[in-house]
Structure 1
Amino acid sequence: MAEDYGGPRREYFRLLMIELQEKMGIFQGRPGRLLFSYDQRALAQNKFYTAGKLVAWSIMHNGPGVQCLNPDLFLLMCGQKPEMTSFDLDIFQEEELKMKLENVVRCGTSEELEELKCTMGDWIADCGVPNIYTASVRDLPTIHRQIVTHYLYHRVASMVQQFIAGMNSCGQMWEIVAMNWREFLPLFTNATQKLSRNDIRNLFTISWSPQGSNHRTGGGDGLPVGVLADVHSRRRDGYFLRGVSGVCDRGRFYPPSWVPAEMPA
């Protein structure tokens, strides 16, 4: 272990997660809201399996998660049911797909629905929604959500399952993630905000030394000098050091403290 309690190791995994997102060819879409690529060649080459295993290794060794998946996709992978009431269609790269989904959203009358059934009924049925032919206007929000879910998850289910298999090859890591999806959400998605000065201050409950004491001198309105000295000399426990290292690393999220440090690879 390095002198800074694993800093070089975390930096290695941080760079590895960036390479995984940008160079492996398994993701597509908007940065920070990525989807799995529908790529049969990558599937045959087990790239999704490899990516899942690398993510699991990073988490197991106190590195960052991939932090790039679309939040709705992550919830679907965990067996949850995202609302998707205000879904951003721009995450899809295919212009024709976005146009068709916009047509479903704009449909609001019985006449428009009948035209939709004539012009797009077969396509909607092929997305796993065969009830389009008997649907009413009030069914359209559900139909829209089902089509989006098809392109987010069901169409790439083989890729998703290979990624999950790669993670589970390391101590059933995905099973842990799925059971504790709220805690792992910041490790797989970019649905976080940058920490402000006040946010950082609120992370700590400060017990100030008496006014005029040597420990209080020079503390100002930041962290007490005595606390920083304790951190530097490593007199604080591991959980406190982990919290401080997370703040110093610009708020990057690392695995929950209860994730086992050692798992079979």
Structure 2
Amino acid sequence: MCDLSLLSAIAVREDEYFLAGRMIAVSIVHGGPGPHFLSKDLVNHIVEQSLFSATLEDVTDEGIVKVLQEIQNAATLESLQDLIFKNSTLLQTAGYFRNVKNIEEKQTIVKEYLRWYVIERNHSVIKRFKDGLATLQFLTALQQHPSVLASFLFHTEKKLTATDLENLFKAELSPAGSNQRQKESTTLCFWSDYLFDCEGVS
């Protein structure tokens, strides 16, 4: 699942986020497949909906995960204040370093940091990605009809099957009855057996 949290400096420099958005727009508009790998939080942001449900599992930096877990698990106001002070640099970077007055604020701090990590710190590349999605007016259609089009972008857990992979290819066979056709048919049987054996291993 992609939330753009793993930025590539080369991709930014070469404007590949714009190109990715453009390729996705062109594919969907022309009846091709959608990417099905974007996080729901990213798609909700793109379609300008306020829904946000990221969890610590969406953070790829183990050090940050550890800090946020400690904050989330703080049992007393004093321990929470100590953790915030100890990790002030991390929280200041996101703009969420502040004096807390009750233990319940720990959930707000974690939630706000997650939003910054997934969305706000990636603002410039998300903008370029959206510029790419605007190709052929796809972004406009997506924002006007998110209930119809957002599913083309969302990450899905659908498992790739041997049949799916087999259907991606169409063999161009020699005329029926020819020696070459017999060899091709044997090869296709081996290919099919191989795919189903692979599926069985997974």
In the alignment, structure 1 residue 181 sits paired with structure 2 residue 146: yes
- How far residue 190 of structure 1 moved from its aligned partner, in angstroms, is 2.3
1:81 maps to 50
2:89 maps to 122
- After superposition, the CA RMSD in angstroms is 2.0
- How far residue 91 of structure 1 moved from its aligned partner, in angstroms, is 2.9
Unmatched segments (≥5 aa) in structure 2: 160-202
Greater Cα offset, 68-77 or 43-52: 68-77
2:75 maps to 108
- How far residue 90 of structure 1 moved from its aligned partner, in angstroms, is 2.6
In the alignment, structure 1 residue 35 sits paired with structure 2 residue 19: no
1:159 maps to 125
Greater Cα offset, 49-58 or 138-147: 138-147
Looking at structure 2, the residues matched to 142 and 77 of structure 1 have their Cα atoms a distance apart, in angstroms, of: 23
- How far residue 73 of structure 1 moved from its aligned partner, in angstroms, is 2.0
In the alignment, structure 1 residue 95 sits paired with structure 2 residue 68: no
Looking at structure 2, the residues matched to 107 and 183 of structure 1 have their Cα atoms a distance apart, in angstroms, of: 42
Pick closer, same or farther for the CA change 1:189–1:135 going to 2, 3 Å: farther
User: Which of the pair is proportionally richer in helix?
Assistant: 2
Looking at structure 1, the residues matched to 73 and 143 of structure 2 have their Cα atoms a distance apart, in angstroms, of: 35
Is the 8 Å Cα contact of residues 35 and 152 (structure 2) preserved in structure 1?
Answer: yes
Output the TM-score relative to the length of structure 2: 0.70
Per-residue displacement from partner, 1:26-52 (whole Å, max 9, x unpaired)? xxxxxxx22213223211101011111
- How far residue 106 of structure 1 moved from its aligned partner, in angstroms, is 0.8
Unmatched segments (≥5 aa) in structure 1: 1-32, 195-265
In the alignment, structure 1 residue 190 sits paired with structure 2 residue 159: no
Greater Cα offset, 54-63 or 73-82: 73-82
- How far residue 193 of structure 1 moved from its aligned partner, in angstroms, is 6.4
**Aligned residues between the structures:** 158
Is the 8 Å Cα contact of residues 38 and 153 (structure 2) preserved in structure 1?
Answer: yes
Relative contact order higher in (CA < 8 Å, ≥ 6 apart): 2
2:39 maps to 70
